Amino acid sequence: MRKIAFFLPVLIFSSGVLLAQDEIIRKRHNYEFASDEKLEVELDIDAAEVKLMPNPHESELSIYLEFNDAAFDYHIDFDEYDNRISLTFEKEHWMKDDSDNYKTEIEILLPRTVIVDLDCRIKAGEVNMELGDLSLTRFALKTWAGDVKISFDEANRISMRSLTLNTKVGETRLKKLGNARFRHAEINNGIGQLDVDFSGLTEDATADVDLDIGATDIFIPDNIGVKLSVHKFLFLSQVDIPHSLRKKGSYYISENYQDDEKSVVLKVKPGIGDLRISYH
C-alpha cells in the first residue's frame, strides 16, 4: 500500500494574477515531493519562451506561466497515484494577432532529489534549459521551430538511460552534454547550426548524431577514448576529422580508446553543410 507520508505530494499551491487592461495572466503552481520519488513530467507547448532549471527547493516542482489570456490556454493534469504531471499549453489562433506584442513565458523549476523522467514537445519558441545537478533518468526533447540551448553545468546525480533530442528548424547549442551521464544519446538536427559539446563524460556511452542541413561543430574532450564513424559522405558535405584519430576499418579511433574503459562510441551521419569534429 502506498505510504502517504512519503509518496503523496504534500503541497499543491496555485496562485494567479490578472491584469485586465493587458489581458496578461501570471500563474505559478508548486508541487512538493519526497526525495527519491519517481516522477514523470510531460510538457506539450505550442509557443512560448521556455526555461527549465533546477529548483533551489530540492524536492519541489514549480511551474510558472505568463501569457495573454485571449491568445493562449493551458491545462495541468496531475496523477498523484502514478506520479505523472503533464502541462499542455495551447495557442488559440496561429494567425498573427495582438498576442505577438506580449511576452509569453513558461518557467519550470525541477526538483533535484526526485528521480525525473522528462519528456518535452515544443512547437515554436526559444528554449533555454540548464539541467545540471538534477536526477534525470530519461530526457527527451522535440522542437519544430526556434533556437535551443541546453547545458549541464553540473553532473546529473544519477545515470541517465537515454537522451533524445530532435530539433527541426533553428540554432541548437548543447553544452557539457557529457555531464548528463547518458548511456545512449540520439541527436537529430534538421535545418540550422548545431554545436555539441561532450565535455563531462565520465562513463561509457554511445551517441548517434543525424544531420540534415547546416554547419555542425562537435567537441569531444581528449581525456576519454573515442571510436568515431562518419557515414555516407555527401557531395555537399565538408567533413573535418582530427588527425589524432587513426583510421581503422570504418572507424576513427583515438590512441586511448579501450573497449573496457571510459570511452564513447560516436556515429555521425552528415547532411548538407560543414561538419567539424574537435578532439583535444
Decide: 63 and 28 in contact? Cβ < 8 Å: yes
Q: Give the pLDDT score at 23.
A: 85
Whose CA is closest to 77, among 68, 69, 59, 89?
A: 89
Burial 216-249 (b: 16+ CB within 10 A, else e): bbbbbbeebbbbbebeeeeeebeeebbeebeeee
Domain-wise residue ranges, the chain: 1-112, 126-280
Query: Residue holding cell 547532411?
Result: 271
pLDDT for the residue 233: 61
* Cα 52 from Cα 84, distance rounded (Å): 18
Backbone φ and ψ of 244, nearest 5°: -75, -10
The CB-side HSE value for 107 (13 A sphere, CA atoms) comes to 12
Q: Which residue has the cell 548511456?
A: 183
| pLDDT at 19 (0 to 100) | 41
The one-letter amino acid at 263: S
d(CA 61, CA 55): 7
pLDDT tens-digit readout, 247-261: 999 999 999 998 767
| Residue 262: predicted pLDDT | 82
What local confidence, expressed as pLDDT, does residue 5 receive?
40
pLDDT of the residue at 22: 54
Regions of the chain where pLDDT drops below 70: 1-22, 94-101, 232-236, 260
**How far, in Å, are 63, 83, 102, 126, 248 from residue 73 at the CA level?**
15, 23, 15, 19, 55
Residue-level pLDDT at 96? 58
